[in-house]
Amino acid sequence: MIFFGRRRSAVAPPEHLETGKWGEAIAAQMLQHKGLKRLGERVRIGTRDEIDLVMRDGEQLVFVEVKTRSSEAFGRPLSAVDRKKRHTLSRGAIRYIKKLKNPRVSFRFDVVEVIGSPASGSPPPQIRHIPNAFSLDRRYMLP
């Protein structure tokens, strides 16, 4: 149920949001199968930042951006993680780490592309994992 203002409305979320949740669940399962531990999903940090998945690979934190598409015609995953998106993810990661009160924690940014549809009868999704897809935005690096 989604709430708008003071009135409660039982409006279903748009289809692309359901597809995004489905893709994030597929990505989390794949990463857990690779041995990563799920720490959080759709992690909100402040009012502007959201990280799709926060995982742990041994002692390293992994901030994961999931790109779900119905076909490859909608572009490649790294093209969707442009400079502005990398900045937003970097800011969210730094804020997350500050909440941990452990500034020396090792971390990386991964991108997972899920191509497919949650519709019944659809072929199994194609999944591409890009570890270490990009580095921390320079403005957040320590001197």
Tens digit of each residue's pLDDT (9 = 90 or more) over 56-71: 999 999 999 999 887 7
Do 112 and 31 touch, CB atoms closer than 8 A?
A: yes
Pairing of strands 107-115, 60-69: parallel
In this model, does residue 19 exceed pLDDT 80? Answer: no
Other CB atoms within 10 Å distance of the CB of residue 34: 11
Quickly state the pLDDT bin for 15 (edges 50, 70, 90): low
For the entire predicted model, the pTM comes to 0.81
Task: Kindly report the average pLDDT of the chain as a whole number.
Answer: 82
Which letter does DSSP use for residue 122 in this model?
P
pLDDT in tens, 71-113: 766 566 566 688 888 999 999 999 999 888 877 889 999 999 9
Cα–Cα distances in angstroms (integers) from residue 17 to residues 24, 41, 91, in the given order:
11, 14, 23
Structure tokens at 30: 């794949």
Q: Give the domains, in start order, of the chain with CATH numbers.
A: 13-136 (3.40.1350.10)
Pairwise CA distance, residues 30 & 93, whole Å:
22
Structure tokens at 124: 């199994």
Structure tokens at 26: 């597929």
